[in-house]
Amino acid sequence: MKTCAPGSVIGMLGGGQLGRMLALAAAQLGYHTHVYCPDEKNPAEQVTDRLSRNSYTDEAALVEFGKSVDVVTYEFENIPVETVELLQKHVPVFPSAKVLKVSQDRLREKDFLNGIGIETAPYAPVATVDEAAIALRDIGYPAVLKTRRFGYDGKGQAIVRQPTDLLDAWASLKSSEIIIEGFIPFDMEISVLAARGQDGEIRCFDPAENIHKNHILDLSIAPARIAPELRAEAIEIARRIVAELDYVGVLAVEFFVSGAAPVFRVNEIAPRVHNSGHWSIEACPTSQFEQHIRAICGLPLGDTTLYGRTEMKNLIGDDILDMESYLKDPAANFHHYGKKQAHPGRKMGHVTWVYPDAASWDD
């Protein structure tokens, strides 16, 4: 176990809003952050102590960065595995390259989950359109073609509703590393943020219910509006995942919940803090961001009890123009990520409401 006391320097790969909120949480605990990010004007650099603006493949810059920090983490999962493997030779990195390999690849991820008895959609890896046609006979229609790597917010996906959709869908993905997944009709999507410390302690946040708009998260509400015993079941699955991965840090597990006697199927896991846990900043004693910092630094994990039901709304693109109404709402906790341009689909901020008097939505 490698403990980094407050005052140490946390290296962070990536500079988006997740990195920004991690840096703010780290600062409260007295950590310095050093962001490594190739992007100009990234949201995290505005609040960090140091910045290295270099490519993830610049080995000399990575080694120098690794030597300048006490521990490294990352705020998105599309960091090259080789980057993390190189850094691990110089400094502890959490989550590990092993975990990153699994979560970067939809095929490995599903193999891992099914290997430990956790249900997912049916799936098959395919390398050619002919293989896809054969696999679809088993999986059936509708199905979803997904690139194995680098997909997010609905990107890298194409639905195949009938055999004649296949050629166009295949061509749209521009990749030969494809996985076909059976289409799961679901009643609800939920997510669980699970944290595991270096000492193996696990603490989970209450499951959140997630509502999407245009394939992007629009609302998260916690606790998810399912029976308490089902919430406990989802948490138990998330605990198994982080334990089996020997994970350190916060990890998000997305589930589809289907049927009257609900079945949970894991849609995907993300080895990082997650948009569907932003409400934890105000709704819990310890936020997902502070919890991640605590975990990677070897501190005791914090309390994740929900103060009351909570709702988080993403501000996407021009939604940010409504900021004045949120700033006027005394119950709204307004967050702005410091981005200048509000492109369509761009996550510009979020708002959280907490209702401490209501423990759940049933009250």
Binding site for its own copies (CB under 8 A): 5-7, 20, 23-24, 27-32, 45-49, 285, 294, 299-300, 302-303, 307, 323-324, 327-328, 330-331, 333-338, 340, 349, 356
Name the residue nearer to its own copies (CB basis): 61 or 320. Answer: 320
Q: Is 340 annotated as a binding residue?
A: no
Q: Minimum Å distance from CB 101 to its own copies?
A: 32
Q: Rounded to whole angstroms, what are the CA distances from 154 to 110, 132, 169?
A: 18, 20, 14
Rounded to 10°, the helix 17-28/288-296 angle is: 70
Q: Is 345 annotated as a binding residue?
A: no
Q: Is 267 annotated as a binding residue?
A: yes
130/136 Cα distance (integer angstroms): 10
Name the residue nearer to its own copies (CB basis): 255 or 326. Answer: 326
Residues in the chain, total: 363
Q: What are phi and psi of 281, to 5 degrees?
A: -60, -45
Q: Minimum Å distance from CB 363 to its own copies?
A: 16
Q: Minimum Å distance from CB 354 to its own copies?
A: 8
DSSP states of 197-256 as a string?
-TTS-EEEPPPEEEEEETTEEEEEEES-SS-HHHHHHHHHHHHHHHHHTT--EEEEEEEE
Name the residue nearer to its own copies (CB basis): 8 or 54. Answer: 8
Name the residue nearer to its own copies (CB basis): 229 or 303. Answer: 303
Q: Is 154 annotated as a binding residue?
A: yes
Among 113, 109, 141, which residue's Cα sits nearest to residue 125? Answer: 109
Q: Minimum Å distance from CB 313 to its own copies?
A: 16
Name the residue nearer to its own copies (CB basis): 27 or 188. Answer: 27
DSSP 7: T
Q: Is 140 annotated as a binding residue?
A: no
102/69 Cα distance (integer angstroms): 26
Name the residue nearer to its own copies (CB basis): 48 or 220. Answer: 48
Residue 308 token pair: 């009351």
Q: Is 212 annotated as a binding residue?
A: yes
Q: Residue 294: CB partners within 8 Å, gap ≥ 6?
A: 29, 195, 197, 286, 300, 301, 302
Q: Is 155 annotated as a binding residue?
A: yes
Among 25, 81, 83, which residue's Cα sits nearest to residue 54? Answer: 83
Q: Is 198 annotated as a binding residue?
A: no
Q: Minimum Å distance from CB 327 to its own copies?
A: 5
Q: Minimum Å distance from CB 24 to its own copies?
A: 6
Name the residue nearer to its own copies (CB basis): 130 or 303. Answer: 303
Strands 249-258, 263-270: pairing is: antiparallel
Q: Minimum Å distance from CB 23 to its own copies?
A: 8
User: Binding site: which residues?
Assistant: 106, 146, 151-157, 181-184, 189, 212, 267-268
